[in-house]
Structure formats: structure tokens, C-alpha cells
Amino acid sequence: MNLVFVGPPGAGKGTQAEAILKAFPIPQISTGDIIRATISGDGALADECRRYTEKGLLVPDDLVNRMVDRRLQADDCRPGFLLDGYPRTVNQAEALEAMLERRGRALDHVLLLDIVDDLLVERITGRRSDPETGKIYHLKFDPPPAEVVNRLVQREDDTEQVLRRRLTEYHEKTAPLLPFYQERGLLRRIDGTQSMAQVRKQILQVLGG
């Protein structure tokens, strides 16, 4: 089963990806993992990638596409794959479509974890972590006990300013993927406002697991 998982930052894709991997024997593949694996290796592709990352520059689409293409040829991808974080743009989606076609493969589903921005902001900005135990609380949905409140911290990535910036980038660059895959009959909208268990159930129903 060949899958792409899309959705705004903080929607819970990581949690739901774990459930998918338990139900289907396929690897989860993220752009970050691919880049890190490439950099740690040898060869022309690794050297080319390091020229960008060592300068703090974004790796260009053409190079990312080539790394993804190589990763999808690995033996563990024969039963399928779950792409998370790729494609991020229509150009990358077109490249993925072409690389799969060359090998007689195609996507089965594009899962969209659908949730409105304001609810995401409420979910993410309310998170607090306990530096002593590592436990994550939510000020509204999973309140911490009074005795630990004063030592809780908020991650920098969980502030509204950071999240709004990431959401803007998502809507500008990634949201155009939705009509692209809708036209191909691949888009499966998952209601991300449900509980984690309900979201997981809906995903597995779509996938037949």
C-alpha cells in the first residue's frame, strides 16, 4: 500500500502514523530522515546534500526528489510506504507521480488530517511538559496536578506566534496539493477534530485495516 500523509502542523500525523504502521508492514518515510541518512553516507548525492545543509540552506526540490526516488527503491518499500512530509508542493507531487510511474507503481491513498487553524492553536499552545518526568499535559484537555504546575514549561515550537507562521507556510505551499490529489481521486479527508481513537478508526476504515 502506497500512502501519502498530509495535514497542518500539530494535527497529530505522527501519532496516527504509528497506528498505520502497526496495521500494515510498510516503512514511514520523512524528508528529514532521508536527508539525515544521505548526509551520513558517502557518494556524490551525499556530497551535494552537505553543500546545502552545512551552509544552513534548504535542500532544493530536485535534490530532495532524487533522494526520495532512491529511498523508494529500497527493499523495505516493496510492500509499500507511508510518506510523511513529502511531497510538500505540487512540483514535488508531480515528481513523485513520475518516479512511481517509471516503476509501474502508483499511490493508493492520500490521507488528509483535516482540522481548522483555531482548534490547532488551542490544542498546541495549551501543551506543557514536565522537565522532571517528561510527561506532556494540556492546560484544558489534560490539566496537570497542582503540585507540578509551577515547574511546567512550554516548548518554543508550541507558541502561537511560531504555530501561526508554520500554518501560513502550510496553506501557501502544501494546501495546493489537495486539489491536485482530489482531481486524481486519491484524497481521503479524515476529520481531525475527533478524538485520537476516532481518527485512528476512520483512517483504518479508509485503508481497509
Candidate list 36, 155, 165, 201, residue with the active-site label = 155
Among candidate residues 106, 96, 104, 40, the one with its CA nearest the CA of residue 65: 96
For residue 82, the SS3 value is: strand
Amino acid at 168: T
128 is catalytic: no
Does residue 155 have an active-site annotation?
A: yes
Catalytic residue among 166, 173, 188, 189: 166
* Catalytic residue flag (residue 88): yes
Tell me if residue 66 is catalytic.
Answer: no
Long-range contacts of the stretch 47-51 (C-beta < 8 A, 24+): none
Rounded distance, CA 23 to CA 16, Å? 11
> How far apart are alpha carbons 167 and 173 in whole angstroms?
10
Examine the residue annotation and report whether 164 is marked as an active-site residue of this protein: no
Q: Coil, strand or helix: which one is 37?
A: helix
Q: Which of 50, 88, 105, 189 is catalytic?
A: 88
DSSP state of 116: -
List 71, 123, 127, 200, catalytic entry? 127
Query: Which of 17, 27, 159 minimizes the C-alpha distance to 80?
Result: 27
Say which amino acid occupies 66. R
| Interior/surface letters 133-167, b for 16+ CB within 10 angstroms, e for the rest | eeeebeeeeeebeeeeeeebeeeeebeeeebeebb
Catalytic residues: 13, 88, 127, 155, 166
